[in-house]
Structure 1
Amino acid sequence: MSSFFGSFTRDSVDIPESELEEGSFEKYLHEALEQIKLDTVDGYEKADVFLNQAVSRYEAGDNSSIDKKLAALAYEYKGAFDFLKADSANAAVIIKKALKLSPRPRSHVLLALIAAEGTDFDPNSPNTAYTDVAYKEALGEFQKAIELDANSKDIYYNYGQIFYLIGDLASAKEKFEKAKELNPDNVYAYIQLACIAYKQGEISTCQALFKDAKRRFPVSPDVINYYGEILYDMKDFDGAEKQFDNAIKLQDALPTFNVGALPLINKALICKERQDIESHELYLARACQLDQKNETAREHLSVIYTAQKKFDECDKVLDEACAVARSPIDLRRFVVLKITNDLHRHVSKDRVLSAKLEQLQREVATQYAAAIASGAAPPQGM
């Protein structure tokens, strides 16, 4: 949620707090926006409650005296929270209500993100994206946002993200540059421009851009974490680990959520590379504790638990992952992992089957290691 709301400008009710009546629509909306600004897990949970109260209050009776712009703001934010809770269908309905009351670019940007989530194209074949219906719908919403205000600070970062995800780096770079120009405080635009340079093979430019981002945002764990990811991809595990450790320390010291559990997950991957399974598990568990809605940490941790025959612990983290799954594809993946865990539980009760499975796993691991050492492709099924 931190990076999502951090990519947009902040909003306020613009009414002196002393003039806000307890239990009023304006008071609920004010409280919601203030909680979002805190950028904490507790703050986001409270904001969700206040937004529901604001919308309920608006719809409860005579709302003719309520500023339509504020009403639209409440609907838009409620829609954003519904989207983040994976209820995209309801989010779109709510955001369209906001547009009817008082159109602004961000509402169209949110509809674009909702549409983009439904895209059906191969990210390894970017050209297929341009014929995808949902993708075209997303681009259409961005165009509507630009028609409302071509210089809105809320448009171009997320516009760039769409192009970045489909591999159109030239268009993504153009949009991120525009985002940085309009909103120099958007740290994510700086990060993405550095990542684009890396993807284009411009390593020195990438490093220079990250150095500039660190100078501009000296206490941002996001910058350090994503630089660590670049080093990790370059197989500089010592350098990456240093960045992840620093990002973890910064995140722990900040009252805000910022990059959240990502540095912990990345540190866990470093531990896995070094065959330190105990630390690998520890950092993933810390990530799950820090971010109750992080699917990635739970997925990785479930695999460890199954391998260690901690079947009940595996069921628990996979149930949590299923509850926060962002898409049907993610949900199916977690269900498959649950079925796999149940299968291993059943096999573990049969000594003969268990011995055969362990032997098969050792053989596959040996083949995989040999293939990697020789530079050949891994065995089929890996």
Structure 2
Amino acid sequence: MKAFAMTESNYIDTIQGISSIKNFGKEKNVTALNSDIYLNYQNQVYSLGILGAGMGLSSNFLGVLYMSILLSVASLMVLSEALMLGEMVALIAFFGMIIPSVNKLAMSNVQIQEAKIAFERMFEFGFAENEKIKIQSEKFDVIECLHLIDINFRFTGRKSLLNNINLEIEKGRLTCVLGESGGGKSTMLQLILRFYDLESGKIIINGKTDIKNVNLISWRSCVGYVEQETKIFNGSLLQNICFFDPKVNAESVVNFCNEYGLMKFFNRLPAGLETIIGEEGINLSGGQKQLVSFARTLFHNPKCLLLDEFTGAMDKETEGFMLQVLDDLKYKIPILIVTHKISPALRSDYIYIH
């Protein structure tokens, strides 16, 4: 089962990365790797078959041997008049029913081992710790500011990633964290969203409410988050913006796009908002995916906006437009940008170097 899971996972990974494989001309290398992994799986299947056949042969041989010994001993006892012939027949019939059951019990070891592996995988998911969601908490109609106070965080078994981070995100100014890749900027946003728990420190909302005392669902629903790796779903552009909400009509999406000036970009697509963008946004460029993610976040009217390398794949025109939108939006909600690019930082009011 483990070898099968590894084989299947590797095939999926290969299919998803086929463009990179062809780009580097590594088809032979990847084919050889796939062959080795599949060969290992077939060897495991063969070993399992040999094990099952060996156990079946051994149990049958032992059954025949046991019955031969029993028949010989019983016959000698009948000849010596220590056992009657009818008793011998009954005894042989009785053990004749037990031995096949013992053989089946021995052969069930293979199924037991498979079930053991399946249960181990099931328990990994079934006993995963749930997020601690408080039932009642304050609802935020307006978020004026977020304060990160002496934040410390590390992943289990690794060195400290964030050390004594202090940060203020306030309405009326565009705040930017500028730093190199791998420094923990994205992790800091995920701490604000409470995807992870702080090692120490506090995140305070509106100067009074600790984020630990806030209902997770209501908190995340009022915080807009544009991820670095944009997730695009198979469907139309309109469906991706409204996130497949059946209560949203097309007119409201069109009005939203016109209000923010996004329609001039979306009209460049073959069918505008009705364009089918395909699985993982296969029909869109990297910059267009980020634009869709940005539009989807703004459409849900966030009370606070977190942006993670949101212009990384955009051209200068689109990036300039997006930064102008943020410059107008900053007076309504607090905005935090994390990036390693200079252009978003230059348009910001406050810059933290990380």
Q: For this structure pair, what is the TM-score category when the shorter chain's length is used for normalisation?
A: under 0.3
For the pair shown, the structure with the greater C-alpha radius of gyration is 2
Q: Which has the higher contact order (CA 8 A, sep 6+)?
A: 2
Q: Which is richer in strand?
A: 2
| TM-score after normalising by structure 2 | 0.22
> Normalising to structure 1: TM-score of the pair?
0.21
